[in-house]
Amino acid sequence: MKRPCKQILVRGTNWFLVILSIALVMALVLTACSPGGQTPVNYVFDDLGRLVAINGTPQRIISLAPSNTEILFALGLGDRVVGVTDYCDYPPEALNKTKVGGYANPDIEKIVALNPDLVLVAYGTPMDVINTMVGLGLTVFGIKTTDLDDLLNDIRRVGEITDKEVEAQALTSEMASRIQAVTNQTEELEQRPKVFYIVWNDPLWTAGSGTFIHELIEKAGGVNICQNITGYTTISIEDVLARDPEIIITSELSYDWALNATELASTNASKTGRIFTCDDNLVQRPGPRLVEGLEWFAHYIQPDIFPEEPEGS
């Protein structure tokens, strides 16, 4: 009566060994088929709410936004960047990269021809363009920055998916330290001048709450006169006059207009000569240099506290 039980045990053991062998073979096959024969797929949610499969460590990266390009180079990834937009001009090395069009209307054929293993897009690239690239088998990862904390997180995430986590941590720590150096001086201020930022003057565009320009104004010790407006939008001259800004900061292209605009002559800012401009790329691109933009805003808005012009990044 004991013999059949022994036979069954042996057979069960044999089946176990067979299954184990098959599992080991399958593991070897899957490993051999993975990038580099050893790197697993990394699944990460991007800022567009998409679950993206990052297959290994990207070696051929295309950037579809100037801010993304600045992040990639700041992380030491310039040698992996194979394509950028027509507007990517910083750092100077980016000018030597292959141009693939604009962030909203890139040349898809040129992108495919560059054989990227990562296309880094930003808010503004249309979803149909993103879907087209994904449909062609490209790995597309999107980031969207609304404030400085978002920016720091986005840099860390780019570092994560490109195996540059150490560099990302060092960069964001240095940026956070500079941000803190400003807010330590401004967060308890009671006297905060009213500030108006001009994105463009014809028609008159400004930045309301929910934008990083709004946050730059607030952290620099000012009050955004358009804080009750959301996003980037138009505003009437009559509304600006009613809010009477004490300081006006403009984009470079609108600076001459603001200095000479009779429409603004009655504002406190115009009467006291407190109309300034700042390098657009420091305050309109959500990249590492946005911290320098904050320091310039602090210099304009609270000159008694920040009398020195910021040094370049």
pLDDT, tens digit (0-9, with 9 covering 90-100), for 28-74: 344 444 444 455 798 999 999 999 999 999 999 999 999 999 999 99
Point out the domain boundary residue: 144, 170, 200. 144
Which among 219, 217, 119, 223 has a CA at the least distance from the CA of 162?
Answer: 119
Residue 236 falls inside a structural domain = yes
Report the C-alpha gap between 157 and 177 in whole angstroms: 19
Model pTM score: 0.85
112 and 52 housed in the same domain:
yes
Q: Yes or no: say if 156 and 172 are a contact pair by the CB < 8 Å rule.
A: yes
Segment 75-89 shows an average pLDDT of: 98
What pLDDT sits at residue 9?
Answer: 35
130 and 230 housed in the same domain:
no
Segment 158-173 shows an average pLDDT of: 98
54 and 137 housed in the same domain:
yes
Residue 7 falls inside a structural domain = no
What pLDDT sits at residue 124?
Answer: 85
140 and 197 housed in the same domain:
no
What pLDDT sits at residue 262?
Answer: 97
* Strand (E) or helix (H) holding 198: strand 194-198
229 and 293 housed in the same domain:
yes
If pLDDT is split at 50, 70 and 90, which confidence band does 83 have?
very high
Point out the domain boundary residue: 144, 179, 202. 144
228 and 128 housed in the same domain:
no
Point out the domain boundary residue: 125, 144, 163. 144
Segment 133-159 shows an average pLDDT of: 96
What percentage of the chain carries pLDDT values higher than 90?
84
pLDDT, tens digit (0-9, with 9 covering 90-100), for 52-63: 999 999 999 999
Per-residue pLDDT for 17 more than 90? no
Q: Yes or no: say if 120 and 72 are a contact pair by the CB < 8 Å rule.
A: yes
202 and 291 housed in the same domain:
yes
Q: How many CA atoms lie less than 13 Å away from 100 in the CB half-sphere?
A: 29
Per-residue pLDDT for 191 more than 90? yes
| Structural domains counted in the chain | 2
Instruction: Compute the chain's Rg from CA coordinates.
Output: 26
Q: Alpha helices of the chain — where are they, by DSSP H?
A: 2-33, 66-74, 108-113, 127-135, 148-161, 165-186, 212-219, 237-243, 255-260, 268-271, 280-283, 290-301
What pLDDT sits at residue 228?
Answer: 96
Per-residue pLDDT for 23 more than 70? no
Question: Which residues on neighbouring strands pair with residue 42, listed in sequence order?
Answer: 54
Per-residue pLDDT for 5 more than 50? no
pLDDT, tens digit (0-9, with 9 covering 90-100), for 222-248: 999 999 999 999 999 999 999 999 999
What pLDDT sits at residue 20?
Answer: 41
Per-residue pLDDT for 260 more than 50? yes
What pLDDT sits at residue 123?
Answer: 85
139 and 210 housed in the same domain:
no
Per-residue pLDDT for 3 more than 70? no
Residue 92 falls inside a structural domain = yes
What pLDDT sits at residue 312?
Answer: 74
Residue 22 falls inside a structural domain = no
What pLDDT sits at residue 38?
Answer: 55
Q: Give the CATH number of the domain where residue 256 resides.
A: 3.40.50.1980
Residue 86 falls inside a structural domain = yes
Strand order from edge to edge, sheet including 200-201: 200-201, 204-207, 232-234
Q: Which tokens hold the place of 93?
A: 């090395």
Residue span of the structural domain in which 261 resides: 190-301
Per-residue pLDDT for 19 more than 90? no
196 and 290 housed in the same domain:
yes
292 and 202 housed in the same domain:
yes
281 and 213 housed in the same domain:
yes
Residue 26 falls inside a structural domain = no
47 and 107 housed in the same domain:
yes
